[in-house]
Amino acid sequence: MSPAGKKFDYAPAPESRAILDLKPSYGLFIDGQFVDTLDGRTFKTVSPASEEVLAEITEAGQADVDRAVAAARKAYDKVWSKLPARERGKYLFRIARILQERARELAVLESLDNGKPIRESRDVDIPLVAAWFFHYAGWADKLVARPLGVAAQVIPWNFPLLMLAWKIAPALACGNTVVLKPAETTPLTALLFAEICQQADLPPGVVNIVTGAGDTGRALVEHPGIDKVAFTGSTDVGKMIARSTAGSRKKVTLELGGKAANIVFDDAPVDQAVEGIVNGIFFNQGHVCCAGSRLLVQESVHDEVIRKLKRRLTTVRVGDPMDKNTDLGAINSAAQLDRIREMSGIAEEEGAERWSPPCELPSRGFWFPPTVFTGVAQTHRIAQEEVFGPVLSVLTFRTPQEAVAKANNTPYGLSAGVWTDKGSRILWMADQLRAGVVWANTFNKFDPTSPFGGYKESGYGREGGRHGLEPYVTLGDVQ
CB 177, CB 206: distance < 8 Å: yes
Sign of the alpha-carbon dihedral angle for 84, 90, 91, 96: positive
Report the residue number, 400 or 468, with the smaller CB distance to ligand NAD: 468
174 is catalytic: no
Strand extents, DSSP E, 191-304: 207-209, 228-232, 251-255, 261-264, 294-298
Phi-psi region of 394 (alpha: psi -120 to 50; beta: other; left: phi over 0): beta
Per-residue binder mask for ligand NAD (CB under 6 A), 407-446, x = binder? -------x--------------------------------
Amino acid at residue number 444: N
**In this complex, which beta carbon is closest to ligand NAD, that of residue 27 or of residue 459?**
459
297 is an interface residue for ligand NAD by CB under 6 A? no
Q: Is 448 a binder of ligand NAD (CB under 6 A)?
A: no
The smaller minimum CB distance to ligand NAD, of residues 404 and 414, is found at 414
Q: Which stretch binds ligand NAD (CB under 6 A): 62-70, 78-86, 231-239, 423-431?
A: 231-239
Active-site pick, 184, 289, 290, 470: 289
**Cβ–Cβ under 8 Å, residues 343 and 381:** yes
Please list every residue from 39 through 78 that binds ligand NAD, using CB under 6 A. none
Residue 386 interacts with ligand NAD (CB under 6 A)?
Answer: yes
- Of 409, 374, 212, 405, the residue nearest 303 (C-alpha): 374
Interface region with ligand NAD, contact rule CB under 6 A, candidates 50-58, 212-220, 349-357, 469-477: 212-220
Binding mask 331-370 for ligand NAD (x = CB under 6 A): ----------------------------------------
CA dist 294 and 281 (Å) reads: 9
Q: Which is nearer to ligand NAD, 175 or 233 (CB)?
A: 233
Count Cα atoms within 13 angstroms, Cβ side, for 418.
23
Task: Specify the pairing of strand 53-59 against strand 41-46.
Answer: antiparallel
Q: Does 110 bind ligand NAD (CB under 6 A)?
A: no
> Of the listed pieces 17-25, 134-142, 156-164, 263-271, which binds ligand NAD according to CB under 6 A?
156-164
Helix (H) or strand (E) holding 373: strand 371-374
Cα-trace Rg, the chain: 22
Q: Does 257 bind ligand NAD (CB under 6 A)?
A: yes
Residue 359 known to be catalytic: no
Beta strands 146-147; 53-59: pairing state? unpaired
β-strand 150-154 against 228-232: which pairing, if any?
Answer: parallel
Q: Which of 255, 386, 457, 470 is catalytic?
A: 255
Residue 169 binding ligand NAD, by CB under 6 A: no
Kindly list the distances between the CA atom of residue 470 and the CA atoms of 20, 42, 462, 473, in Å, as whole numbers in the listed order: 37, 36, 8, 6
* Residue 143 binds ligand NAD, judged by CB under 6 A: no
Which strand (E) or helix (H) includes residue 29? strand 28-30
Binders of ligand NAD in range 78-107 (CB under 6 A)? none
Task: Provide the binding-site residues for ligand NAD, judged by CB under 6 A.
Answer: 154-158, 181, 183-184, 213-214, 217-218, 221, 232-234, 237, 240-241, 255-258, 289, 386, 388, 414, 454, 458-459
Q: Annotated active-site positions, please?
A: 255, 289
